[in-house]
Amino acid sequence: MSDEEVQLEARLEEQDVFEPPESFVEQANVADPAIYDEFEEEGPDAWERAADLLDWESEWDQVLDDSDAPFYEWFTDGKLNASENCLDRHLDDRGEAAAIEWIGELGEKRTYSYSELHREVNEFAAALRDLGVEEDDVVTMYMPMIPELPVAMLACARIGAPHSVVFAGFSADALATRMESADSEYLVTCDGYYRRGDPLPHKEKANEGLEDVGHDVETVVVDRLDDDYDHPMKDGEHDYDELVGEHAGATVEPVTRDAEDMLFLMYTSGTTGQPKGVKHTTGGYLSYAAWTSHAVLDVKPDDTYWCSADIGWITGHSYIVYGPLALGTTTVMYEGTPDYPEKDRLWEIVDEYDVTQLYTAPTAIRAFMKWGKEYPDSHDLSSLRLLGTVGEPINPRAWKWYYKHIGKESCPVVDTWWQTETGGMMLTTLPAIGEMKPGTAGPPLPGISADVVDVSGDPVGAGKAGYLVVNQPWPGMLRTLYKNDERFVDEYWREYSNPDRDEWVYFPEDGAKIDEGGYITVLGRVDDVLNVSGHRLGTMEIESAIVGVEGVAEAAVVGGDHEIKGEAVYAYVITEDGTEETEALKERIVEGVEDAIGPIARPEAIIFTPELPKTRSGKIMRRLLEEIANGEELGDTSTLRNPDVVSDIQSKMSGD
């Protein structure tokens, strides 16, 4: 490094507050700080600005119906169609403009203009109807990042069939559980995809999952791998290209949906072993995805906007598909990994496509940092106007690296906190308003009321850690857990609400702290959910997979610190009497976890132990296991029933 660079680095290290760049402020969609007061003064009606970003077939009667809280309803009796909002209404002005720029793993490129996307969505919607899909039937998609995935989602939205997208990296078991839970009789999947240049079969996994689904399923298969892979088709299955070909030129009138009708289901991990089916609606969710894309990501029709998440997670739903397409912009979809063929892959794409916004995850930024600045430096990134992060806390060093080496100190960075359940962003600075503080997501968005409280629900005040709560409903909120209203109330509303006084407080199950300026730093989950590379995994799900392995008696899973992934899975395992603690057993445990959930949940370390540290009441002390995983000094062990076990485990970990 030159002297100048060293000085710059030192200055950056000391700086805790960053102002939005002037050049950004001048052109921003939302630049007037009065927006906060406006929301405050107008109450729920303020959300009409979000709904007004969409086209409605008929307007709503009431913005918010809170008569049956916490079962809130938004834009009641309003009618619209999400596919029409993401496609048809852009055709006149932007028919020839790119809706999706897709970049394949092998370097292939496909551009879908709005009219091309509209055509294929119509054809596939007609095909789905012919297969028997009716309004309100749940269609499952089990696909990687290929354009047919958003096509299928929008085709479903067009005919009023909610979709349930299952991340392609999830296992056959995970697919089966989700299809069963949603009573889903339709599946759109593909033969396989490429990873680091090699074909990766996917259809076998889908087939395996289907064997465990107790009802008949109509399956459509996209042929991604051509001749590279001869996929096993079962009787009665349909080839995507043939279906679309048979319906060439078909048009399907968008079905009129009620604002509160379900747009999609998304399964996510919770405290118990059973994933939760989060229900999102057509009016509230779409308004919220569009509004936050407009206000936070500053999306404009002429942008080439890129969110590098996977559509199999909520971030991809809201900020690759629905938000950007509702606003008529160009959304980039990248199938591959950031380091194939080289570690400059993302920067090559930013350069080539003149990407204007990049929205990614801290885990990726930490990897970029590790690889070094020479990769971004070898490309022209001057098209970038805004950077964003999501999924986990970002440490100030990573934030500053992103700001400096990717944004060249001229792009605001929005650190956005939100969840599958919230539908869209909740805490973040608005990029043209207010200062940015690295490591701190920021204040609640206008119209969002959040605080940090103690166990009894009282605000902790500046500087202290507590629990994050949201005190007012918002349009993008989940409406319920699919077919499980009771669990919905229990999981999110029981903790801090006061039903007798009709006061409802949403509990996201995150720990947080708040500073004097009202900026909130989210510290991480306070339930038994891990955040591995920004992916949400339930410890119970992993534990039950491990206990399902022959020879395992008991298991406890905790998150250990990890330089790149944020958290990594540490599994403490007790074997059954007579079973040896072998490497072979460890391999079977890894396989068991991969089969039940997928490779993302693979344990970083498996530690055999004769016992687990338990309190006198028999509860596993996870805190201790975390401290051991992280090699930290141990906290209080006096309440343990079996204090000796701690040193046993520690010596095992150090390989004694």
Nearer to ligand WTA, 81 or 440 (CB): 440
Among 166, 386, 441, 557, which residue sits at the site for ligand WTA (rule: CB under 6 A)? 441
Minimum distance, C-beta of residue 311 to ligand WTA, in the bound complex (Å): 13
DSSP character string of 475-492: TTS---BTT-HHHHHHHH
Minimum separation from the CB atom of position 584 to ligand WTA (A): 34
Nearest to 419 by CA among 531, 340, 331: 531
Q: How far apart are CA 127 and CA 113, in angstroms?
A: 21
Taking CB under 6 A as the binding criterion, the range among 38-46, 391-399, 444-452, 645-653 that sits at the site for ligand WTA is 391-399
- We find the least distance from the C-beta atom of residue 136 to ligand WTA, in angstroms, to be 25
- Report the residue number whose CB is nearest to ligand WTA: 420
Interface positions, 525-544, toward ligand WTA (CB under 6 A): 525, 531, 536
CB 165 within 8 A of CB 311: yes
Binding region for ligand WTA (CB under 6 A) out of 19-27, 110-118, 398-406, 524-532: 524-532
Residue (120 or 392) nearer to ligand WTA, CB? 392
Q: Does the protein bind ligand WTA through residue 420 (CB under 6 A)?
A: yes
Tokens of 476: 């993008």
Q: How far is the CB of 484 from ligand WTA (least distance, A)?
A: 17
Site for ligand WTA in 305-324 (CB under 6 A): 313-315
Pick one of 254, 391, 434, 592: the residue that binds ligand WTA (CB under 6 A): 391
User: SS3 helix, strand, coil % of the chain, rounded to 5?
Assistant: 35, 25, 40
Using rule CB under 6 A, residue 414 touches ligand WTA: no
43 φ, ψ (degrees, to nearest 5): 65, -155
Residue closer to ligand WTA by CB (options 148, 510) is 510
Residue 17, exposed/middle/buried by CB under 10 A (0-12, 13-18, 19+)? exposed
CB of 509 to ligand WTA, least distance (A): 7
Tally Cβ neighbours within 10 Å of residue 455.
Answer: 9
Q: How far is the CB of 393 from ligand WTA (least distance, A)?
A: 4
Interface positions, 259-278, toward ligand WTA (CB under 6 A): 268
Alpha carbons 90 and 84: distance in angstroms, whole number? 9
Distances in Å between the alpha carbon of 130 and those of 120, 134, 210, 595? 15, 9, 21, 34
Q: Which stretch binds ligand WTA (CB under 6 A): 517-525, 545-553, 592-600, 626-634?
A: 517-525
User: Any contact of residue 524 with ligand WTA (CB under 6 A)?
Assistant: yes
Q: Any contact of residue 417 with ligand WTA (CB under 6 A)?
A: yes
Max Cα distance, the chain (Å): 73
* Gap between the terminal Cα atoms of the chain: 42
Which positions from 117 through 176 interact with ligand WTA, judged by CB under 6 A? none
Please report, as a single letter, which amino acid is at residue 264. Answer: F
**Residue (171 or 416) nearer to ligand WTA, CB:** 416
- 470: contact with ligand WTA by CB under 6 A: no
Q: Which is nearer to ligand WTA, 158 or 366 (CB)?
A: 366
- Judge whether 598 and 167 are in contact, CB under 8 Å: yes
Say how far apart CA 442 and CA 521 lie, in whole Å.
7
Q: With CA atoms as reference, report the closest residue to 315 among 273, 345, 370, 358.
A: 358
Residues in the chain: 656
User: Which one of residues 415, 451, 567, 627 is an interface residue with ligand WTA (CB under 6 A)?
Assistant: 415
510 binds ligand WTA (CB under 6 A): yes
Phi-psi group of 544: left, alpha or beta (phi > 0 → left; psi -120 to 50 → alpha; rest → beta): alpha
Coil, strand or helix: which one is 179? helix
Report the residue from 349, 390, 436, 540 that binds ligand WTA according to the rule CB under 6 A: 390
Which positions touch ligand WTA (CB under 6 A)? 268, 313-315, 390-393, 415-420, 441, 508, 510, 522, 524-525, 531, 536
